[in-house]
């Protein structure tokens, strides 16, 4: 389907000329006044307006102001024979995308229109992707109350109030991009785009063009100008996921942008300023990458002005049950299942698992059980994947008791697991924590909450 251009000009000659220039590649509508132009906009979808400045009745600048209210996302390119620079300045101030003087150069106006349409499409895609992600991973859906996790979120909130560069560390699946989106949503840039760059998915040859864009003719196949991620981000947030996957050559270019706040498109000479906030993320220990020579130390220090570390799920005691219930509530409507709850024995097995894939793995397991067994109102232990039943050194699950609250049954089972691990390790908390797949600090927190003594009871 062709994109639709509306030409608004009171002179017949320019209208027909622009129709001849663009009718081969676009659908064209013509209007000789602002009122006719508005009528077209009310009955048809228009992707771009070519608008003359000097018109009787309602001039182009007045109509442009109306369009900014009625169609704020519609790109408008102004056209005028006036030699004064004042209309140009005023039109750009009001919100025009670009400006062309009469008599116009055909190739120039083609290039301007193509660029304006491409930018508009990219902006809509970004908004659509942001909406999709926001629906699936809303900031209000960040679930967790364990000390390690709440401490990390506190760091995110503090960083959001600044413009400092942030480095988010954590194992795969711990929610680094979700934390970055939370940072963006809480910042004063929340109305600007959030643009993610997944460094591991781009080759070195593509990375520079993706980040900075390229000019037409910059290399074979570059048949038009391409806007890069820095262009799209504007004054928003640019999130570099798995930044350790960047080659050293690309690291140098990113370092320059962080230092100078400017970049140049591939094949171009124009220096472009950027105000985007940079947030990096890595599932590797970047200090080790620096020590091995695989990551530049100067870039590391530029990125890690504010470091945030997300704990793995195995160190988030008590959060697993919360996340299970959250995913159940979120997935039930989309999967159209009857499941209403997880049996306490199922939750106990989920809590005993070490979750190498972290939150992402937990969500997948919950979704799998709902897809395969969602017709059952209660998700039973037998529905769990095979890995949850292998080599069961887990303590026996307490029998179900309909009179006992669900959380109390889960807490009782957790207490039984911790006490068994302490007995197995002669009450050495460090070793018990290792056996349970958590840290000593988290273990001590859970022991205090469950009233487990720090030493073996005297016999």
Pairing of strands 271-273, 262-264: antiparallel
Q: Are the beta carbons of 314 and 355 closer than 8 angstroms? A: yes
What single-letter DSSP state applies at residue 168? E
Residue 203 tokens read as 């080759």
Q: Are the beta carbons of 280 and 167 closer than 8 angstroms? A: yes
* Per-residue confidence in pLDDT tens, the chain, 459 aa: 689 999 999 999 999 999 999 999 999 999 999 999 999 998 888 999 999 988 888 999 999 988 988 888 889 999 877 655 667 677 777 788 888 888 888 888 998 898 888 877 766 655 545 555 554 444 445 788 888 899 999 999 999 999 999 999 999 999 999 999 999 999 999 888 899 998 887 777 788 888 998 888 888 777 777 888 998 888 899 999 999 999 898 999 999 999 999 999 888 888 888 999 999 999 999 999 999 999 999 999 999 999 999 999 988 877 898 899 989 988 998 898 999 999 888 888 898 888 989 999 999 999 999 999 999 999 998 899 888 876 444 444 455 554 556 556 667 777 887 888 788 788 888 877 777 666 777 778 778 888 888 887 765
Predicted local confidence at residue 270, as pLDDT: 84
Q: Are the beta carbons of 276 and 234 closer than 8 angstroms? A: yes
Look at residues 243, 207, 244, 247 and name the one whose alpha carbon lies nearest to residue 228: 207
Look at residues 292, 302, 195 and name the one whose alpha carbon lies nearest to residue 255: 302
Q: Are the beta carbons of 228 and 211 closer than 8 angstroms? A: yes
Q: How many CB atoms lie within 10 A of CB 122?
A: 17
- 420 alpha carbon, distance to own chain's centre: 42
Predicted local confidence at residue 119, as pLDDT: 78
Q: Say how far apart CA 79 and CA 91 lie, in whole Å.
A: 10
Residue 386 tokens read as 């095979």
Predicted local confidence at residue 140, as pLDDT: 47
372 Cβ contact partners less than 8 Å away, ≥ 6 residues apart: 383
What single-letter DSSP state applies at residue 245? G
Element housing 98 (H / E):
strand 98-101
Q: Output the 3-class SS for 381-399.
A: HHHCCHHHCCCCCCCCCCC
- The pTM of the full predicted model, rounded to 2 decimals, is 0.59
Predicted local confidence at residue 402, as pLDDT: 47
Domains for the chain: give ranges and CATH numbers: 4-122 (3.40.50.2300), 137-311 (3.40.50.300), 315-449 (1.10.8.60)
């Amino acid at each position: 389907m062709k994109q639709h251009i509306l030409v608004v000009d009171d002179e017949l000659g320019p209208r027909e000329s622009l129709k001849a220039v663009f009718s081969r590649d676009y659908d064209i509508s013509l209007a000789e006044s602002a009122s006719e132009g508005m009528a077209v906009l009310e009955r048809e979808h228009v992707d771009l307006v070519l608008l003359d400045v000097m018109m009787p009745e309602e001039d182009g600048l007045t109509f442009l102001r109306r369009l900014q209210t009625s169609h704020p996302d519609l790109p408008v390119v102004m056209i005028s024979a006036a030699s004064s620079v004042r209309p140009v300045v005023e039109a750009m101030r009001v919100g025009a995308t670009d400006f062309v003087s009469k008599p116009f150069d055909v190739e120039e106006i083609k290039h301007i229109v193509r660029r304006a349409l491409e930018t508009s499409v990219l902006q809509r895609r970004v908004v659509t992707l942001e909406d999709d992600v926001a629906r699936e991973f809303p900031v209000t859906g960040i679930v967790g109350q364990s000390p390690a996790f709440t401490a990390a979120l506190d760091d995110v909130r503090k960083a959001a109030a600044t413009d400092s560069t942030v480095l988010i560390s954590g194992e795969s699946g711990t929610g680094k991009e979700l934390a970055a989106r939370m940072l963006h949503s809480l910042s004063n840039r929340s109305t600007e785009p959030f643009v993610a760059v997944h460094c591991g998915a781009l080759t070195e040859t593509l990375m520079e063009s993706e980040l900075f864009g390229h000019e037409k003719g910059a290399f074979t196949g570059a048949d038009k100008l391409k806007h890069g991620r820095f262009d799209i981000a504007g004054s928003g947030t640019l999130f570099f996921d798995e930044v350790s996957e960047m080659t050293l050559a690309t690291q140098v270019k990113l370092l320059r942008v962080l230092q100078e706040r400017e970049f140049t498109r591939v094949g171009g000479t124009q220096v472009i300023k950027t105000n985007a906030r940079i947030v990096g993320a890595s599932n590797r220990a970047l200090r080790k990458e620096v020590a091995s020579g695989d990551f530049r130390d100067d870039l590391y220090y530029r990125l890690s002005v504010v470091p945030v570390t997300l704990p793995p799920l195995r160190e988030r005691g008590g959060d697993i049950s919360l996340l299970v219930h959250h995913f159940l509530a979120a997935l039930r409507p989309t999967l159209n299942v009857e499941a209403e709850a997880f049996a306490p024995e199922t939750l106990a097995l989920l809590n005993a698992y070490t979750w190498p894939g972290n939150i992402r793995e937990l969500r997948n397991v919950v979704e799998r059980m709902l897809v395969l067994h969602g017709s059952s109102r209660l998700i039973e232990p037998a529905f769990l994947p095979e890995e949850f039943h292998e080599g069961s050194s887990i303590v026996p699950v307490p029998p179900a008791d309909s009179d006992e609250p669900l959380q109390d049954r889960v807490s009782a089972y957790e207490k039984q697991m911790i006490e068994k691990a302490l007995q197995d390790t002669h009450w050495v908390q460090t070793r018990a924590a290792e056996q349970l797949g958590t840290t000593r600090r988290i273990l001590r927190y859970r022991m205090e909450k469950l009233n487990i003594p720090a030493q073996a009871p005297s016999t």
